[in-house]
């Protein structure tokens, strides 16, 4: 069975940082190890051969990044979360601003962005919202812009949509072409996609709502702490932050600058600058 020790994993993350300026040094070790093993298996490389390839072949790094980052997601994941968004969080934001801004941080292949757009459209406010969706990986951003997904994923997505109690029929949002579900591009009219690195990148805008669900689970605690500071700075006062249902902020330095709005769905509100 393929294996890799921690020393080699550290050599890989150090090399990628020094040579390519991507920082995986503070990623959670268990999942980072699985991702690297997966690449070794896929490309039939030993740890030494992988290090050599990353050193000698700069173009390989994009492929490496694409496989390393976790891009498994579904539309309307946790339907109860989306119901709370529709019934409580978005209306609360709209009490103060008719127009507002949302950041999807670590948007991956875009299913969550698309879910948001469908929900906003059904609420009749898609025009009033500016959405910025970012990811580290340029290849996955292209997928997100295309909003074209394998038709076999639609069964699960539709089930989630029904549990979310959407007001339309899920099938109205896409057309079937060559085994793919091709979603209506108009849904993305107010979305801009851009490459952004949560670890090394700067603050670039202020938002009323940030969604970053199941992204920080791949970071160790010290990196989670740093990223939360960036989210804090990127939120307007009384803006909202949503993380994954089994993530927690309580051990972060900035935890006391937020209050819990919904503990089941892990929605927080910034209350202190």
Contact set with other proteins (CB under 8 A): 1, 6, 28-31, 34-35, 70, 72-73, 77-78, 80, 159-160, 163, 214, 216-218, 220-221, 224, 244-248, 251
DSSP bridge pairs for 258: 270
* Closest approach of other proteins to the CB of residue 231, in Å: 16
Cβ atoms of 161 and 76 within 8 Å: the answer is yes
| CB of 74 or CB of 197, closer to other proteins | 74
| CB of 5 or CB of 177, closer to other proteins | 5
Residues near 109 by Cβ (< 8 Å), separated by ≥ 6? 71, 73, 140, 143, 144, 149
* Closest approach of other proteins to the CB of residue 20, in Å: 23
| CB of 18 or CB of 30, closer to other proteins | 30
| CB of 94 or CB of 217, closer to other proteins | 217
| CB of 64 or CB of 100, closer to other proteins | 64
* Closest approach of other proteins to the CB of residue 70, in Å: 5
| CB of 224 or CB of 234, closer to other proteins | 224
* Closest approach of other proteins to the CB of residue 218, in Å: 7
* Closest approach of other proteins to the CB of residue 5, in Å: 10
| CB of 70 or CB of 94, closer to other proteins | 70
**Distance of alpha carbon 182 from alpha carbon 239, whole angstroms:** 33
* Closest approach of other proteins to the CB of residue 126, in Å: 27
Q: Under DSSP, is residue 202 helix (H, G, I), strand (E, B) or coil?
A: coil
* Closest approach of other proteins to the CB of residue 220, in Å: 8
Query: What DSSP state is assigned to residue 44?
Result: T
Specify the long-range contacts of residues 264-269, CB closer than 8 Å, at least 24 apart. 264/80, 265/78, 265/80, 265/81, 265/84, 266/242, 267/81, 267/84, 267/89, 267/240, 267/241, 267/242, 268/240, 268/241, 268/242, 268/243, 269/238, 269/239, 269/240, 269/241
Distances (CA, A) of 122 to 79, 167, 173, 181, 184: 15, 7, 11, 20, 14
Q: What is the number of other CB atoms lying within 10 angstroms of the CB of residue 130?
A: 15
């Amino acid at each position: 069975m393929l294996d890799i020790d921690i020393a080699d994993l550290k050599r890989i993350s150090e090399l990628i940082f020094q040579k390519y300026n991507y920082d995986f040094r503070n990623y959670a070790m268990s999942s980072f190890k699985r991702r690297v093993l997966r690449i070794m298996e896929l490309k039939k490389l030993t740890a030494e051969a992988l290090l050599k390839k990353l050193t000698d072949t700069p173009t390989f790094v994009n492929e490496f990044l694409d496989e390393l980052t976790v891009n498994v997601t579904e539309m309307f994941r946790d339907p109860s979360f989306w119901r709370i968004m529709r019934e409580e969080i978005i209306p609360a934001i709209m009490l103060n601003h008719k127009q507002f801004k949302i950041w999807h941080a670590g948007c991956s292949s875009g299913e969550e962005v698309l879910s948001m757009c469908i929900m906003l459209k059904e609420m009749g406010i898609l025009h009033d919202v500016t959405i910025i969706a970012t990811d580290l990986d340029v290849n996955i951003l292209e997928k997100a812009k295309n909003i074209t997904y394998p038709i076999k994923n639609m069964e699960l997505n539709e089930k989630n949509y029904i549990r979310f109690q959407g007001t339309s029929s899920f099938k109205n949002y896409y057309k079937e072409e060559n085994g793919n579900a091709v979603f209506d591009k108009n849904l993305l009219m107010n979305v801009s996609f851009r490459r952004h690195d949560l670890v090394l990148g700067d603050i670039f805008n202020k938002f009323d709502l940030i969604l970053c669900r199941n992204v920080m689970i791949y970071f160790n605690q010290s990196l989670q702490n740093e990223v939360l500071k960036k989210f804090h700075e990127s939120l307007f006062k009384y803006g909202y932050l949503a993380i994954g249902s089994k993530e927690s902020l309580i051990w972060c330095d900035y935890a006391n600058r937020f209050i819990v709005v919904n503990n089941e769905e892990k929605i927080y509100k910034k209350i202190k600058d």
